[in-house]
Amino acid sequence: MQLATAVRRATAADAPALAELINHAYAVEAFFVDGARTSAAEVVQLITRGAFLVLEYEGGLAGAVYVEPRGYFGLLSVAPELQGHGLGTRLVRIAEAMCEALGCGAIELRIVNVREELGRWYRSLGYHEVGTAPFEGPAKLPCHFVEMRKQLTVTAVAA
C-alpha cells in the first residue's frame, strides 16, 4: 500500500475536507471535550494566519498539519484508519523543515495534559516541555495545555 505521496499547501477550498479530517482525528478526545474540534470557517481563518500542509491519499486527505511562520505547529491530524504508518511523523518533519526554512530557531506546539501518549510521542521526536497554559474551551475534565519546544538547526541561506 502506498500512503500519501502528495504533499501540498491547502487552500480555502479545502476547508470543509480539512475540518472533517481534523474532527475525525480528534474524536478520540471526546472523553474530555464536547463537540467538534473545529469548523470549516475556523480553518479558513487559520489559513489567513499560517498554512495547512496536507497529505493526499486516494483522492482525499490522509493527514494535515497547521504551521505558523513564527515557529509553531498544531492541529496535527491523521485519518484514524491511516494512523500507525508514520504519516504524523512525516507531517511533523515537514513542519519543522518549513520553520527552519523561514529562519526559526525553534518550533513549538501545545498538547493537552490528559493525552499523556502525546507527550511521550513528541518527546521521542526531540520535543521537551517548556510550560503550561490554560485549556481554551469547555472541558469535561480538569485539564491544561502543555507547551513543548524543539530547537531547530537554521542554515544560513546564500543570497
Q: Residues 100-131: pLDDT tens digits?
A: 999 999 999 999 999 999 999 999 999 999 99
Domain for residue 156, yes or no? Answer: no
Cβ contact 105:149 at 8 Å: no
Number of folded domains that form the chain: 1
Residue-wise DSSP of 124-156: HTT-EEEEEEEPPS--SS--EEEEEEEE--PPP
pLDDT digits (tens, 9 = 90+) for 26-48: 999 999 998 899 999 999 999 99
Domain for residue 1, yes or no? Answer: no
Nearest-angstrom CA–CA distance, 40 and 27: 16
Domain for residue 159, yes or no? Answer: no
pTM of the predicted model as reported, rounded to 2 decimal places: 0.92
Domain containing residue 132: 6-151
pLDDT at position 137? 82
Q: Give the domain CATH number at 114.
A: 3.40.630.30
